Structure 1
Amino acid sequence: MENTDLTRAEWRTSSYSSGNGQCVEIAVLTEVVAMRDSKRPSGPILRFTNEEFSTFVTAARHGQFDRT
């Protein structure tokens, strides 16, 4: 997964993004979902299996990362 070729990745931001520069971008490929900071596109990239990313999104939707 670490060596996944991302040169043809099509990066996108959420349609819920407010445009204030506090965004992440994702690229969905066959074997991985890649995520990066929109302000630093040449910076580090996180890679998730499809199952890992699905688990992350489900947890976020259920508020598991909300600050109290």
Structure 2
Amino acid sequence: MMPDADLSGAHWRKSSFSGGGNDCVEVAFVDGGAAVRDSKDPEGGAFRLSAQGWRGLLAAVRAGDPDQA
């Protein structure tokens, strides 16, 4: 994970597969990586990933194996 930074100006977006509800995560691409937060609790914090970490997370999700992330 990457260190904390000011994400107040980040452009957050939900997946088009989220179904329009608030039961999903949101992502913002910042500083060469990504920040991820819970859409139900946007003020509850976010975790940040480097670009390599983001690609690894996506690969694990697509493969259906979160233990690879």
Residue equivalent to 1:24: 25
Cα RMSD after superposing both structures: 1.3
Runs of 5+ unmatched residues, structure 1: none
Q: 5+ unaligned residues in a row in structure 2: which ranges?
A: none
SS in 1 for 2:52: helix
Q: TM-score, normalised by structure 1?
A: 0.84
The number of aligned residues is 65
**Structural mapping, 1:1-68, within 5 Å:** 1-65=2-66
TM-score (norm 2): 0.83
Aligned structure 1 segments of 4 or more residues deviating by more than 6 angstroms: none
